[in-house]
Amino acid sequence: MACANTTVAFNETPEVVECRGERFRLFLDAATIQKRVAELGRQISRDYADRQPILIGVLNGAFMFLADLMRYLTIDCEVDFLKLSSYGAAKVSSGQVYELKKIDADIQGRHVLVVEDIVDTGLSMQFILERLQAYEPASVATVTLLHKAEATQVDVPLDYVGFQIPNKFVIGYGLDYGQLARNLNAIYILEE
Ligand SMILES: O=P(O)(O)OC[C@H]1O[C@H](OP(=O)(O)OP(=O)(O)O)[C@H](O)[C@@H]1O
Ligand SMILES: Nc1nc2[nH]cnc2c(=O)[nH]1
Ligand SMILES: [Mg+2]
C-alpha cells in the first residue's frame, strides 16, 4: 500500500507501506500506541495532580500524539504550540534547528510540559529547552513518544518516554517522510 498517492483510512493498518519509493514495515500498531499514551496520560495526571500544566506541542510532528495524550489527562491543562524544523525532506537530521513559530502563551511562572513525537539527535529538544528558559517558567518537563537513544548526541532530560526505538527512520502517527505519511494511524520503520 502506498501512502504517497493512496488513501489509508484511519482504521486501516497495513503491514507494509510504501512512501516516496521506500518500503516501511509496521513497527508499533495503533492499539499499542494508544495503550502506552493512556499510561503516560495517567502518569502525568498523577504527577501534576496539584498543578495546571501548559502543554507545548512541537509542530508539526507532535500534533497527533499531543491530541491523543491530552484526552488521557484527567487534570486541568492548557495547550499551545511552537514550530521547529530540522529534518527537512531527508531521513537524517540536518543538524540545524530553525524556529518557524514561537509560542503565543505567557508561560512565566507556569508548569510547562514540552511534547515531542520523537527525540533523535536531541538537538530540537535542546534548542526548545534553551529557548523556554528565557520565559522563566516555574518548571519544565519533557514528554516524547519515541526516543532513539543510540542517536542522541546531547544530554537532554526526558521525563516521560513512550517507547525506546532503534536508530532507524520511522514514519506515521504524525511523523513524516517529506511531509507525507503523518496520517498513518501506526508507526512504521524503514526496511533496509
Ligand atoms: O532530535 P532531533 O534530531 O532534533 O529530531 C527530532 C525532531 O525532528 C522532527 O521534526 P522536524 O524538524 O523534522 O519537523 P516536523 O516536526 O515538522 O516533522 C521531530 O518531529 C522532532 O521535532
Ligand atoms: N519522520 C521522522 N522524523 C524524524 N525526526 C527525527 N527522527 C525522525 C525519524 O526517525 N522519522
Ligand atoms: Mg518535529
Instruction: Examine the predicted complex and report whether its ipTM is higher than 0.90.
Output: yes
Q: How many domains does the structure of the chain reveal? A: 1
Compute the distance from residue 91 Cα to the ligand 2 centre, in Å. Answer: 7
Range of the domain at 149: 19-190
For a pocket test of ligand 2, which of 60, 98, 169 has the largest count of ligand atoms closer than 8 A to its C-beta? 169
Residue 192 has pLDDT above 90, yes or no: no
Q: Does 75 reside within a domain?
A: yes
Q: In what order do the strands lie in the sheet with 187-190?
A: 16-19, 22-28, 187-190, 170-171
Q: Does 68 reside within a domain?
A: yes
* Ligand nearest to the CA of residue 117, numbered in listed order: 1
For a pocket test of ligand 1, which of 56, 86, 117, 123 has the largest count of ligand atoms closer than 8 A to its C-beta? 86
CATH label of the domain that carries residue 121: 3.40.50.2020
How confident is residue 5, by pLDDT bands cut at 50, 70 and 90?
very low
- One of 68, 120, 155, 159 is an active-site residue; which one? 120
| pLDDT for res 6 | 42
* pTM for the whole structure: 0.94
Q: Does 14 reside within a domain?
A: no
Q: Does 4 reside within a domain?
A: no
Residue 98 has pLDDT above 90, yes or no: no
CB 152 within 8 A of CB 167: no
Q: Does 67 reside within a domain?
A: yes
For the segment 148-170, what is each residue's pLDDT rounded down to a tens digit?
999 999 999 999 999 999 999 99
CA angle, residues 134, 139, 145, in degrees to nearest 5: 100
Segment among 1-10, 24-33, 118-127, 135-144 with least mean pLDDT: 1-10
Dihedral of the CA atoms 118, 119, 124, 127 (nearest 10)? 130
Q: Does 29 reside within a domain?
A: yes
Q: Does 30 reside within a domain?
A: yes
- Please tell me if the CB atom of residue 37 comes closer than 6 angstroms to any atom of ligand 2: no
Distance of CA 49 to the CA centre of its chain: 23
CB 115 within 8 A of CB 62: yes
Higher pLDDT, 89 or 25: 25
120 is catalytic: yes
- Please tell me if the CB atom of residue 24 comes closer than 6 angstroms to any atom of ligand 2: no
Distance of CA 80 to the CA centre of its chain: 14
How confident is residue 177, by pLDDT bands cut at 50, 70 and 90?
very high
Compute the distance from residue 175 Cα to the ligand 2 centre, in Å. Answer: 6
Higher pLDDT, 168 or 7: 168
CB 54 within 8 A of CB 107: yes
Residue 40: left if φ>0, alpha if ψ -120 to 50, beta else—which one?
A: alpha
- Please tell me if the CB atom of residue 117 comes closer than 6 angstroms to any atom of ligand 2: no
Q: Does 9 reside within a domain?
A: no
Average pLDDT, the chain: 93
